[in-house]
């Protein structure tokens, strides 16, 4: 079909669409949002790095930055080619254990900083955690709009990595009492945990009335 400018439109059959153009409109916009967020996250890590004082947090920041950079390159690769990336999505491995300290201890009320001189490891790790939470949400939403199967898989596989990096940061914050985790009273907790029972039977065996 020809438009008024004399240009030929690609027909509706996916087999005639070049791989690098195998993307829907929603997909393109959402992947741009993901990639822009990834650039912003790496820029934020770069700006925060000179302010980090704790060596453990510095190690987390560097490992997460390197991982984000490779994952960003993988996403750009498959988005631009429409095909399998040269480096597939990896799985992030944190060094932390997964033990949380539960309960609340008295602390000073939190409030916004009045100057950049107040920045510390609590602020930095909190900013990093917020970045990972935002990234997980953006990638999950984008994956639901993607038509290209490779890009969809790359984005979907990236979400657990964001979750893992956020978990690593929340454990770090908890260990240093930056992020406290309250619990219900034991009786309330038990009631909440036991509030649901397993589903029984299959749909085909359900009686009709």
pLDDT level of residue 99 (50, 70, 90 thresholds)? confident
- 18-73: pLDDT as tens digits: 666 677 777 888 889 999 999 999 999 999 999 999 999 999 999 999 999 999 99
Whether residue 9 is predicted with pLDDT greater than 50 in this model: the reply is no
- Domain-embedded: residue 12: no
DSSP state of 178: S
- Domain-embedded: residue 5: no
DSSP state of 94: -
CATH of the domain at 81: 1.20.1260.10
- Domain-embedded: residue 6: no
Please work out, in degrees rounded to the nearest 5, the angle formed at the alpha carbon of residue 86 by the alpha carbons of 90 and 157: 30
Lowest-pLDDT range, 72-86, 115-129, 195-209?
A: 195-209
Q: Quote the pLDDT of residue 131.
A: 97
Question: Position of tokens 């302010």?
Answer: 51
Q: Quote the pLDDT of residue 95.
A: 85
- 166-205: pLDDT as tens digits: 999 999 999 999 999 898 999 999 999 999 999 988 777 6
Q: Quote the pLDDT of residue 10.
A: 46
Q: What percent of the chain has pLDDT over 90?
A: 65
- Domain-embedded: residue 24: yes
Instruction: Show the domain range for 90.
Output: 18-98+119-203
- Domain-embedded: residue 30: yes
Q: Quote the pLDDT of residue 18.
A: 62
Whether residue 15 is predicted with pLDDT greater than 60 in this model: the reply is no
Q: Provide CB contacts within 8 A for 2, sequence distance 6+.
A: 8, 9
> Three-state SS for 137?
helix
Q: Quote the pLDDT of residue 107.
A: 85
Contacts 24+ apart (CB under 8 A), 107-114: 107/177, 107/180
- Domain-embedded: residue 168: yes
- Domain-embedded: residue 72: yes
- Counted domains in the chain: 1
pLDDT level of residue 6 (50, 70, 90 thresholds)? very low
Q: Quote the pLDDT of residue 1.
A: 42
- Domain-embedded: residue 110: no
């Amino acid at each position: 079909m020809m438009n008024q400018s004399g240009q030929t439109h690609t027909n509706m059959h996916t087999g005639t669409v070049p791989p690098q153009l195998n993307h829907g409109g929603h997909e393109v916009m959402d992947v741009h949002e993901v990639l822009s967020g990834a650039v912003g996250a790496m820029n934020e890590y770069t700006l925060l790095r000179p302010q980090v004082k704790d060596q453990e947090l510095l190690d987390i920041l560097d490992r997460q930055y390197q991982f984000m950079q490779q994952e960003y390159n993988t996403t750009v690769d498959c988005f631009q080619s429409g095909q399998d990336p040269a480096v597939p999505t990896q799985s992030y491995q944190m060094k932390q254990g997964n033990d949380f300290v539960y309960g609340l201890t008295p602390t000073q009320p939190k409030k916004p900083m009045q100057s950049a001189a107040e920045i510390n490891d609590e602020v930095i790790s909190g900013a990093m955690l917020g970045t990972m939470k935002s990234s997980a949400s953006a990638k999950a939403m984008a994956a639901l709009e993607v038509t290209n199967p490779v890009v969809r898989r790359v984005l979907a596989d990236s979400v657990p990595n964001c979750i893992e990096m956020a978990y690593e940061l929340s454990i770090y914050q908890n260990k240093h009492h930056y992020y406290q985790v309250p619990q219900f009273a034991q009786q309330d907790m038990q009631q909440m945990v036991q509030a649901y029972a397993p589903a029984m039977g299959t749909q085909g065996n359900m009686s009709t009335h």
